[in-house]
A and B are shown apart, each in its own frame.
Chain A
Amino acid sequence: MNLPVPVPFTPAAPAELSIALAVSALLFGLGIVGFLSRRNMIIMFLCTELMFQGAALAMIAFARQYMDVSGQVFVIFILTVAAAEAALALALVVLLYRCRETLNSEAWSDLGEGGA
């Protein structure tokens, strides 16, 4: 087990892995709490990015644990999807803002034709 190999080819210290997993769970939970409790649409999308961060951190931690770079490659794809999501979500937010001139998501709580 104690081979003289470079650091990426040795398993992580167990405490490091546990802390990284705890942080990823907490970031994901905080993202959900923020998404449910904030009313500002842009902040709601920012909270989904917080959840992306939690998931990506878990990927990196397991890539370290199993000494396999697939997890890191997956994080690169997560970054791609996050960028695409940010572009589309912000375009939608701009569109919605032009309709009602407010970022309050409560303004969209009724889906009727008149919105009354």
Chain B
Amino acid sequence: MVPILYYAACAVASVGLLLLIKPRGSRRRVGVSILGLAGVAWILVLAARSATADAPGLVGVGCMALCAFVAIAAAVRVITHPRPVFSALYFVLVVVSSAAMYVLLSAEFVAFSLIIVYAGAILITYLFVLMLAQQAPGDTQGADAIGYDRIPREPAGAVFAGFVIVAALGGSIFSPAPAGGNVLDQRAAIRQGWMDLATMPKFLLARARTVDPTVTALAPRVAGAEGTPSIEPQIDGSARVMVLRAGAPTAIALSLPPSLLPDNTSRVGMALVTRFPVSLELAGVILLMAMLGAVVLARRQIELADDERRAHAGLPRHAEPPVEGAP
């Protein structure tokens, strides 16, 4: 039942988007925008209602829906705005609202790196290139430059392709989540969190000292040897770690409460350097190669006669090309 409603909502949003892409008068645009946004709102409400078996955190869901709405509306403006610079600026709005959604999904580090890298670096590069490629005011191509940004290419086919893809992707929203999987996932996540802490002995020692200030050192797993400290996650989310105290000859077990689990940023950092170190190095290589490639590509000079260039751009030549065999 629900997927049919969802496909209908997708269809309404698609019709609204199609009418928005086609250039029309400004008065009709308002009604059409309302139609498209109503379709999007319908999709979001269906998505939210499909999963409200538990008591929902209404504030969190409300903030999420607001950010979602802003992101979608800005994305529609990215693909429909006739001026490229405004499209790029609306893309910044998409990035900021999806960063807000990342924060709501408790991925703070990625959210702020998204704003810094995307809105701060990538979009600025886009803006620079857009301004470099702007037509000069006296250019005879000025009218054409407006024209090709204003008239879309195959809007009906494009919107239909988008409709098919969103309708197919949306099936995953309504497929039921596997029951009982979350308990195991949560246990695995907590265990991984404590194990991440064990690879940072100084960090772990500082946390143990917040529980018991008399702790002097962490007891190693094997007596007298260096290495990872002995830490054992418990079923209730806490962990027991063996510590040495001042004046006590043997190690004793200290219970760390779950509130001392590592925060999100520490977990991401630990995962980067312990689980994905090769990928991290490869990312650096990719960035270096991209920089070299961009320099090489942008430096190349194109040797074309001025007339040839004008002919490629669809402009009249300055002079008629010489006809072979003519006197």
Contact = CB atoms under 8 A, between A and B. Distances in A.
A102 B311 CA distance: 12
Interface stretch (B170-178, B200-208, B211-219, B248-256): B170-178
B50 interface: yes
Contacts of A93: 129, 133
Given A30-B76, A53-B94, A91-B294, A72 B162 contact: no
Main secondary structure, interface of B, reads helix
A6 B94 CA distance: 29
B129 A95 contact: no
Interface stretch (B25-33, B96-104, B220-228): B96-104
Contacts of A99: 302, 304, 309, 312
A100 B309 contact: yes
A26 B190 contact: no
Contacts of A33: 17, 21, 79, 158-159, 161-162
A73 B271 contact: yes
B79 A38 contact: yes
B166 A25 contact: yes
Contacts of A91: 293-295, 297-298
Main secondary structure, interface of A, reads helix
Interface string B295-314: 10110101010000101111
B51 to A, nearest CB: 3
B146 to A, nearest CB: 11
Contact of A49 (B13, B60, B91, B151): B91
Nearest to A73: B271
B94 A27 contact: yes
Interface of B: 13, 17, 21, 40, 43-44, 46-54, 56-57, 60-61, 64-65, 68, 71-72, 75-76, 78-79, 84, 87-88, 91, 94-95, 98, 101-102, 104-107, 109-110, 113-114, 117-118, 121-122, 125-126, 129-130, 132-133, 141, 144-145, 148-149, 151-155, 157-159, 161-163, 165-166, 169-170, 172-173, 177, 182-183, 185-186, 188-190, 192-193, 236-237, 257-259, 261, 263-264, 267-268, 271-272, 275-276, 279, 283, 286-287, 289-291, 293-295, 297-298, 300, 302, 304, 309, 311-314
Given A5-B190, A104-B148, 4 more contacts: A3-B237, A16-B64, A40-B149, A76-B268
